[in-house]
């Protein structure tokens, strides 16, 4: 559950940060900015699809493991739960309209608002998930929320609790992860003779700077979020939080060291970025267990019934799926690294 959530949130960050930068660069006058905007718009369509696919597993885990809490939270704010699906659908339509219907020769006039709509709806979709995730941590407040005297609130539209610091803690890293993605872009196409080296270096340097400043802001937001937690949880001294903070600090140090040659160290930076996100995902799950531990609720008290047949079938199809995907991924990798001319010559 934690691993799939970490992978999911990385692509969510790429979709949010990529959509913003695609529109931001779209309004710049320089040709490099337009080129970067086109790349990020195209990449965001893939990243958003990956975010949705990778989000299925952690959502199913939550629905099974934390069903009593997740179900009530969804019913209390049912319109927001259903609204998430609507937001996600419109996001895809707006994003593809921005990417496919634009005219590079005319500077994509008239379609910039679709990019902003994509970004705004992504923020709204993440707001919905954040809202539902926060409300299920506070069952002691449920009755007071939906019941006033003898009147029950059945509208499903109410936002009962929302923590801005927690929300920003998920949004701000979007620009750090997107910055690392831009560094990887500069590295990945660096060997191709048909690519402009100056442009690739500019993209990588811009990405490294954005990741650096976004990480500084994330540290400030992280302290704000930590101070907003209930004091009776004593979470500041939790070893998993300390480990997550250390991984984040290491990532920040790496960002400082790679500013001059971001392409050269893009893979290393990406590795520590993933470890930082994974550390955050672990810390998040531990905090959730601490919250619900107040009610003597633990996932480890669940009775385990193993069905070996379905488990073997799942693992077999999973392995076969990887095998099937290896060849097209290898072809795409070689084509991207070397270009059509090199591939044909080989």
Side-chain half-sphere of 208: how many Cα atoms within 13 Å? 27
Q: What is the pLDDT of residue 344?
A: 39
Phi and psi at residue 148, to the nearest 5°: -120, 100
pTM of the predicted structure, to 2 decimals = 0.90
Q: How far apart are CA 161 and CA 136, in angstroms?
A: 10
Closest CA to 49 of 81, 101, 102, 95: 95
Backbone angles phi, psi at 157, to 5 degrees: -100, -10
User: In the chain, count of helices (H) and strands (E)?
Assistant: 12, 2
- The C-alpha atoms of residue 272 and residue 248 are separated, in whole angstroms, by 8
Are 218 and 251 contacting, i.e. CB atoms less than 8 angstroms apart?
no
Q: What is the pLDDT of residue 192?
A: 83
Closest to 39 measured CA to CA, from 172, 191, 202: 202
List all residues 6 or more positions away from 328 whose beta carbon is below 8 Å from its beta carbon: none
CA distance 181 to 185: 6
Measured CA to CA, the distance from residue 126 to residue 171 in angstroms comes to 8
Cα–Cα distance, 250 to 140 (Å, whole number) = 38
Identify the pLDDT of residue 170. 93
Q: What is the pLDDT of residue 4?
A: 92
CB atoms within 10 A of CB 81: 18
- Residue with tokens 């929302």, as numbered in its chain: 162
Q: Render each residue's pLDDT in the chain as its tens digit; 346 residues.
A: 999 999 999 999 999 999 999 999 988 878 899 899 989 999 999 999 999 999 999 999 999 899 889 999 999 999 999 999 999 999 999 998 888 766 555 445 557 788 899 999 999 999 999 999 999 999 999 998 988 878 888 888 989 999 999 999 999 999 999 999 999 999 999 888 888 889 999 999 999 999 999 999 999 999 999 999 998 888 989 999 999 999 999 999 999 999 989 999 999 999 999 999 999 999 999 999 999 998 989 888 888 888 999 989 988 998 898 888 888 888 888 887 777 644 433 3
How many whole angstroms from its chain centre is CA 137? Answer: 21
pLDDT at res. 190: 85
| In the block, residue with structure tokens 């672990």 | 282
Q: Is 238 left (phi over 0), alpha (psi -120 to 50) or beta?
A: beta
Identify the pLDDT of residue 109.
Answer: 58
Q: What pLDDT does residue 104 have?
A: 52
Partnered with residue 148 across adjacent β-strands are 151
């Amino acid at each position: 559950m934690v691993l799939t959530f970490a992978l999911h949130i990385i692509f969510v960050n790429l979709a949010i940060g990529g959509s913003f930068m695609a529109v931001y660069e779209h309004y710049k006058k320089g040709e490099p900015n337009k080129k970067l905007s086109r790349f990020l718009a195209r990449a965001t369509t893939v990243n958003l699809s990956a975010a949705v696919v990778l989000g299925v597993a952690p959502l199913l885990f939550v629905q099974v493991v934390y069903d009593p809490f997740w179900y009530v939270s969804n019913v209390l704010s049912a319109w927001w739960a259903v609204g998430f699906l609507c937001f996600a659908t419109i996001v895809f339509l707006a994003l593809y309209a921005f990417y496919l219907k634009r005219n590079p020769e005319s500077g994509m006039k008239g379609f910039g608002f679709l990019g902003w709509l994509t970004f705004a709806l992504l923020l709204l979709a993440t707001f919905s998930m954040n809202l539902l995730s926060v409300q299920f941590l506070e069952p002691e407040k449920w009755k007071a929320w939906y019941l006033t005297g003898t009147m029950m609130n059945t509208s499903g539209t109410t936002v009962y609790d929302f923590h801005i610091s927690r929300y920003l803690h998920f949004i701000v890293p979007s620009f750090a992860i997107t910055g690392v993605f831009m560094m990887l872009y500069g590295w990945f196409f660096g060997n191709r003779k048909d690519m402009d080296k100056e442009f690739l270096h500019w993209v990588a340097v811009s990405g490294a700077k954005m990741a650096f400043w976004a990480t500084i802001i994330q540290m400030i937001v992280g302290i704000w979020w930590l101070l907003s937690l209930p004091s009776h949880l004593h979470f500041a001294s939790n070893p998993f939080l300390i480990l997550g903070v250390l991984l984040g600090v290491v990532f920040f140090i790496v960002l400082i060291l790679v500013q001059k040659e971001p392409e050269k160290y893009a893979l290393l930076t990406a590795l520590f970025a993933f470890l930082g996100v994974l550390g955050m995902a672990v810390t998040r799950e531990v905090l959730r267990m601490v919250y619900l531990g107040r009610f003597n609720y633990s996932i480890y008290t669940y009775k385990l019934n193993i069905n070996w047949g379905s488990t073997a079938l799942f693992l077999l199809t999973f392995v076969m799926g990887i095998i099937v995907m290896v060849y097209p991924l290898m072809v795409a990798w070689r084509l991207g690294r070397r270009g059509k001319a090199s591939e044909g010559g080989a």
